[in-house]
Amino acid sequence: MPDVLRIVVALSMLVPASIQDWRVRMADRRYWIAGGIVGFILLETELLAAAAPLFYHLFVMAIAWIYFDIFWNGEEIFGEEGINLKGANTLRLLAYFLSVAIFIGGIYMFWGDMQFSVLLSVLAMILFIYLLYMFDVIKGGADAKALMMLSLLFPHYPAISSIAASLPLVSPLTMGSFSGVITWEQIFLPFSFIIFMTAAIASLSVPLAMFLLNVFRGDIKVPQAFFGYKTPLLEVGKHHVWLMERVVDGKIKVNLFPKDDDTEQILMLKEMGIKEVWVNPKIPLLIFVTVGLVISLIAGNIILLIV
């Protein structure tokens, strides 16, 4: 039942957030806060049921501090440009210091313990995702927060054997919990990491979809046809797209992965008499994260299958 609840909560957060992200390219952070709260409650409940050492609960509280501080005040200390201590009060810095001390103490005392290794993998995934966001590998804040939430909701593989037995599993997950079987596969390939990689693989369908759309429209120009589509220049500002055609030194050049502001470029292209341009749609990774969760629940660990 805890894992069924995890799945219901995850989908209840991801589906509406994905719809919101598609419409306005922004998702309400309350989705991730609510999902994180449920994740911590379930995690604590399982640790109590498994009679885990008291220090494990302290370790979870330290993870909770890191998680929720990132959501509410993270930009003050941990921004996209690195660490900034300006505005950080003494209490917050002390909380971070104590959290780090707890992490180090836990690693020293419980290294090799399977239950503790699961908790350590949750912390590692949160930090790993945050680093990917800082280094712009994960572009959207909502994408990163969703993956952090999933790291908390699924500290181990979901034990849904009664459901999974009737599904066409590709590579069945080794199911377990804190009071059951825990394998090194769960620790080194956490469920949230499987979801992330599955989402990345699913996103590769976009170039194929773009190409088929352009074939249907008769706009076959490689490689642009794999990364975007043509639209009237005056319509660019009305949609969530990036300009692929840009004016550089008086000439029009193609950028397959544009990320800069388009306002000035639109004016320059208009002055040159351009009527239609190639654009790259801003498709949120969050949509693929939702798809990745569903695929992982049905198909299992497709990463091991590929390997």
| pLDDT (tens digit per residue) in 214-246 | 888 887 888 888 888 888 877 777 778 777 777
Give the C-alpha separation, 264 to 266, whole Å: 5
Give the C-alpha separation, 124 to 101, whole Å: 15
Give me the mean pLDDT over the 54-60 stretch.
Answer: 90
203-227 burial by CB neighbour count: b if 16+ within 10 A, else e?
A: beebeeebbeebeeeeeeeeebbeb
User: Per residue in 273-285, pLDDT tens?
Assistant: 677 777 778 888 8
Residues 148/129, Cβ–Cβ less than 8 Å? yes
Three-class SS of residue 241?
Answer: strand
113 Cβ neighbours under 8 A, 6+ residues apart: none
**Band of the pLDDT at 94, cuts 50, 70, 90?**
confident
Residues 155/122, Cβ–Cβ less than 8 Å? yes
Three-class SS of residue 297?
Answer: helix
pTM above 0.85, yes or no: no
User: Per residue in 151-183, pLDDT tens?
Assistant: 999 988 886 654 555 555 544 555 555 555 667
Asked whether the predicted pLDDT for residue 78 surpasses 70, the reply is no
